[in-house]
Amino acid sequence: MDAKIVLFGHPNVGKSVLFNQLTGLTAIVSNYPGTTVEVYEGEARVEGFRLRILDAPGAYSLLATNEAEDVARRLLLEGRPDLVVQVADATSLRRHLYLTLELMELGLPLILVLNQVDRAEKVGIKINEEELERVLGIPVVLTAAVEGRGIRELLKTIIDVLRSGRVPSPPRLSPEIEESLAKLEDHLIDKLSPELRRFSRALASLVMLGDEGFSHLTEGMPGEFVEHLEKLGRDLALARAELASAICERVVVSGEKALKPSVIDRLLVRPAAGLIIASSIMLAVVWSMLAVIHEIGHRLPSTLYYGLYEPIVRGSLDSALPDGLIKYVLIGDSPGIYSSLGLLTTGVFFVFFMILPCLFILYLVLGVLEDSGLLPRLAVPFDAPLRKMGACGEAMCPMVAGSGCSIVGMFATRILRTEKARFIASFIQWIGIPCMAEQVMIWLVLGSYGPTYVALLYAVLLATTIITGLVLNALLPGGEEPLIMEIPPWRRPQLKNVLKKTVVRLREFLLKGTPLVLMGVLVVNLLYYTGLIGTLAGFLGPVVSGLFNLPGHVAASLVIGVLRKDVAVGVLRAVAPGMTALQMLTAVAVVTLYFPCVGSLVVTLKELGPKRTLLMIVIMIIITIVVGGLLGFLSRLYPG
């Protein structure tokens, strides 16, 4: 028998850890709210049941305030689940019971999982689970998902509930609220699709609470009743909160304080100190990674590539293959890493000797940052500056995630609460935050002229981002939402989890990124083989040479940039050898700014729609002309 189960709950309570435990899969787990913004699906087979388990994005309430919460809610209202498992944090039950009471209104079988019970026990918090089960009328299971504790009991409870099909009764509130809810339900019932009719009570609550997604349902209702709805909504929210509090008083024995704010936490709310701390940490991380990558970039080619790999591959294929297209495509016609442009030489070097080792280091560091709890803390000091650019502090998490891969970052903008903030945060990722693979190439290609030029590039990207953000904020319509954000506790990153995430991300790069990297190298190779590079350079010459003061062959990089920006930067030395440092800086800036890579473009189209994507592309092209033109002017002024 098949059953669909949705894991639902606040952000950062351990849903994905539980999902991994139940399904044996590896959904990425981190210590910041909004790690999961898509729905992950896995399977478990227990006692003849095939359980399809869905890991929903975190949501504080059924009243969705951002795209991620909306995705989670739709999973319940439109996904036809057989069972909902609410995952709550055992150390702060009171905050989670409000959502429990909301979920009980759905009329779906429900289990409450109190996770992180190990932490709760450590600080002496005791929960009377039998009493909680009795009061709520739903099964309660205690788990410590990280340790695998309580998983067997949870699976057993899931099977019991699926067999019994028991549905909780909605919580009873004051007679006035109940009467109004019933009246509203009567009004709504005919307007709802057959699928949504079963949720009429929950939807009546949402309408009463002013949910904008269902506001159309109030059309045709008596005017005075609609006017009265706001007061009723307020009463409903307060009554539920009081009920949650009263239940908590009955079942929880408080322990010691579970939360230990650090000095950094206290300083975050002071803008100057917060910004200095946050920026110093980020700079220290970036520059120490740069040092490591610099080492890798110099040692690997000389030892492994030139010393071992190239003599074997080139040595054997050069004599075995006749001159012609195949040989040219595989190993090119010259031995240098950058000048060969063969799939087995430059292509393999890019993927296995340059990008992968560096990504391994970068993803390890990103994993540590994610698990430590630092990322959400960055939101606080950066809130004010980002608001001036039309985004908000919460955009820091997607932006840091986007430094790994902009596709991930684009999805992560779902946690933002306004369309304007989403648009601007997505745009910032397109122009201001090169993905890690591209950064590796930037550090190696531009870094070969000296670290100053890498720093200069970042300064150019930062200035461009800030100016564009300020302009977009002034021009685009739309309001802003205040920052109210849960800050997770500091945690010592677990090596196992960090390594697991790193492996998942590297596998992702190998499966999805590598074919595009090789295709990029192949395209440049064929442009040279067929002589089309000359035609392309002639066609784009007025812009590339005239405006940006770059050799015409850089046009090949711009074409490749649509596929992969890392390759586009990587081949710059091959397509245009002998560029000055300022010219290389201009070329890298133009490649970074002019157009998104294909993966990021597809996701943006899906997330923001064609109109906004087109607008972003137009703005990008304008920015490229301005910034590239200015840098080109400088490189003419200082040709040395």
Partner 1 sequence: MNSASTRHGSRARLSPGLGTHSCRLSEVEGPARLASTGLELKLLNRLISMGLAPGREVLVISRGRSGVLLEVDNSMIFVGRGVARLLACEVCDRGR
- Point out which span in 232-240, 363-371, 492-500, 502-510 binds partner 1 (CB under 8 A): 232-240
Contacts (Cβ under 8 Å, ≥6 apart) of 255:
120, 123, 124, 125, 126
| Binding residue for partner 1, selected from 16, 35, 61, 583, defined by CB under 8 A | 61
Q: Using CB under 8 A, which of 40, 49, 60, 349 touches partner 1?
A: 60
Site string for partner 1, 125-154 (x = CB under 8 A): x-----------------------------
What would the 3-class secondary structure string for 105-120 be? CCCCCEEEEEECHHHH
363 by DSSP, 3-state: which?
Answer: helix
Contacts with partner 1, 108-127, as mask; x by CB under 8 A: ---------------x-x--
Report residue 222: phi and psi, to 5°.
-55, 135
C-alpha 529/C-alpha 524 separation (Å) is 9
Query: Residues 73-112 vs partner 1: string with x where CB under 8 A?
Result: ----------------x-xxxxx--xx-------------
DSSP 3-state assignment of 507? helix
Residue 483 binds to partner 1 (criterion: CB under 8 A): yes
Among 320, 474, 475, 484, binds partner 1 (CB under 8 A): 484
Piece of the chain touching partner 1 by CB under 8 A; list 74-82, 228-236, 336-344, 401-409: 228-236
Task: Identify the residue among 223, 482, 578, 610 touching partner 1 (CB under 8 A).
Answer: 482
Residue with tokens 């495509």: 329
371 to 400, contacts with partner 1 by CB under 8 A?
379-381, 383-384
Question: Do residues 434 and 561 lie in contact, with contact meaning Cβ atoms separated by under 8 Å?
Answer: no
Q: What are the contacts of 630-636 at 24+ separation with CB within 8 A?
A: 631/460, 631/548, 631/582, 631/585, 631/586, 631/589, 631/590, 632/547, 632/548, 632/549, 632/550, 632/586, 633/549, 634/582, 634/586, 635/549, 635/580, 635/582, 635/583, 635/585, 635/586, 636/549
Q: Are the C-beta atoms of residues 171 and 240 closer than 8 Å to each other?
A: yes
Among 268, 289, 543, 627, binds partner 1 (CB under 8 A): 268
Nearest to partner 1 of 92, 429 (CB atom) = 92
Residue of 245, 279, 303, 334 interacting with partner 1 (CB under 8 A): 245
Asked if residue 243 binds partner 1 (CB under 8 A), the reply is no
Q: Which is nearer to partner 1, 185 or 265 (CB)?
A: 265
CA distance 601 to 573: 26
Tokens of residue 636, six digits: 């003419």
**Least spacing, CB of residue 282 vs partner 1, in Å:** 18
Tell me: does residue 298 bind partner 1 (CB under 8 A): no
Candidates 109, 233, 402, 404: give the one binding partner 1 (CB under 8 A).
233
- How far is Cα 36 from Cα 9, in angstroms, rounded to an integer? 12
Judged by the rule CB under 8 A, the positions of this chain that interact with partner 1 are 60-61, 63, 65, 89, 91-95, 98-99, 123, 125, 209-210, 230, 233-234, 237-238, 240-242, 245, 256-259, 261, 265-271, 274, 379-381, 383-384, 482-489
